[in-house]
Chains A and B, each alone.
Chain A
Amino acid sequence: MSRAAMREDKSHLLDDKDRALINAYQGGFPLSERPYADVGEKLGLSEDDVIARIGRMLDEKILTRFGPLYNAERLGGGLTLAAMKLPEEKFDEIAEQVNAFPEVAHNYAREHELNMWFVLATETPEGIAETCKRIEEATGYKVYNMPKEEEFFVELTFEA
């Protein structure tokens, strides 16, 4: 997918039912035998329609994911935010190298001297330091590791 496509405002592709789905189910999707039917009943949609709408919004990249969001640390893994300071002319090449690491969950270009910011999720807490080192070796640039020391609030929901 092109980067432009990821940033595009696609809200015009959403109808009221899509918005209702997004607004009601950024969490709390039912753990039941027929969850799509249960969701449909609440929103006045058929089971098939709920499934089709979620599938369509995934295809259109309006949703980046659908399903359980796991907490890497609670699974016994490691999680961190890391940054790199890269020269513009090397940026795309190194972005590719960094993204090739499966431990890189998200990666954003940001407007600062530290111009690449990514989240690392690893299976073990020790995996963070190892992965930072491997990225440094692969790219030849320093990784600034900024693990969270405290989390004050997390309520990541958006209104569609």
Chain B
Amino acid sequence: MDDIDRKIVLATQSGLPLTAEPYKAVGEVVGIAPQEVIERMARMLEDGAIRRIGLVPNHYALGYAFNGMTVWNVDDVKVRELGPKVGALECVTHCYLRPRHLPEWPYNFFAMVHGKNRETAEKGIEEIAQVLGDHNKGNLVLFSSRILKKTGMRLGA
């Protein structure tokens, strides 16, 4: 990641220009040829600096009304083995191991569940419980009641 990459990030992090040649437009801002923008972004995509390039839907707008953050207290020795199995479930979009904050927060395993209706979401939660079995020592579902902000990450200029 050099200065030019950084300038590309700054020029595109709020979105790709909606003009016929968007990478040319980015190149004009950064001061490089369109082909170089394309090559550098391709490299960032390959090495994971860019996760993906495309449309990011607001899942509520698509009718996914039930978006639950499910949190689980899973055996530390088993969680790394069980994590990928939960992640493979269709209803699960992200899942992570995170630190507990004892005693208030005993949950170390987070799985995001999305569904167009409560039934689908609840079925998903049941599937997770089945995968975790006895290694689950307690869980909660935190449905989101409001989106307060959703802008994506921003680098400062």
Known: A110-B69, A149-B98, A158-B59. A37 touches B20 (CB 8 A): yes
B: number of interface residues (CB 8 Å): 75
A90 contacts the other chain (CB 8 A):
no
B118 contacts the other chain (CB 8 A):
no
Residues A47 and B54 in contact, CB atoms below 8 Å apart: no
B62 contacts the other chain (CB 8 A):
yes
Residues B65 and A72 in contact, CB atoms below 8 Å apart: no
Against A, the Cβ 8 Å flags (1 = close, 0 = not) of B19-31 are 1111110000000
Residues B41 and A68 in contact, CB atoms below 8 Å apart: yes
Distance in angstroms from A20 CB to nearest chain B CB is: 11
In the bound complex, CA of A60 to CA of B57 (Å): 11
Distance in angstroms from B39 CB to nearest chain A CB is: 8
Within 8 A of A (CB), among B125-145: 140, 142-145
In the bound complex, CA of A76 to CA of B56 (Å): 23
Neighbour of A31 across the interface among B53, B146, B149, CB < 8 A = B53
Known: A81-B98, A153-B88. A108 touches B144 (CB 8 A): yes
Q: How big is chain A's contact interface, by range?
A: 35 or more
Neighbour of A149 across the interface among B60, B97, B146, B147, CB < 8 A = B97
Residues B12 and A67 in contact, CB atoms below 8 Å apart: yes
Tell me which residues across on chain A come within 8 A of B103, comparing CB atoms.
none
Neighbour of A148 across the interface among B12, B98, B142, CB < 8 A = B98
Distance in angstroms from B101 CB to nearest chain A CB is: 5
Tell me which residues across on chain B come within 8 A of A132, comparing CB atoms.
none
Residues A63 and B56 in contact, CB atoms below 8 Å apart: yes
Neighbour of B86 across the interface among A54, A68, A150, A152, CB < 8 A = A152
Known: A67-B16, A150-B97. A160 touches B62 (CB 8 A): yes
Known: A32-B38, A105-B152. A63 touches B51 (CB 8 A): no
Residues B148 and A26 in contact, CB atoms below 8 Å apart: no
Give the interface centre of B50, B53, B64 by most chain A CB atoms within 10 Å. B53
Distance in angstroms from A128 CB to nearest chain B CB is: 12
Residues A152 and B41 in contact, CB atoms below 8 Å apart: no
In the bound complex, CA of A103 to CA of B94 (Å): 21
Tell me which residues across on chain B come within 8 A of A43, comparing CB atoms.
none
Neighbour of A154 across the interface among B15, B24, B93, CB < 8 A = B93
B9 contacts the other chain (CB 8 A):
yes
Neighbour of B149 across the interface among A14, A22, A66, A118, CB < 8 A = A118
Q: Which residues of B contact A (CB under 8 A)?
A: 1, 9, 12-16, 18-24, 34, 38, 41-42, 44-45, 47-65, 69, 80, 83-84, 86-88, 92-99, 101, 104-105, 110, 114, 140, 142-156
Report the 5 A-B pairs with minimum CB-CB distance, sorted nearest first: A153-B87, A27-B52, A121-B153, A67-B16, A152-B83
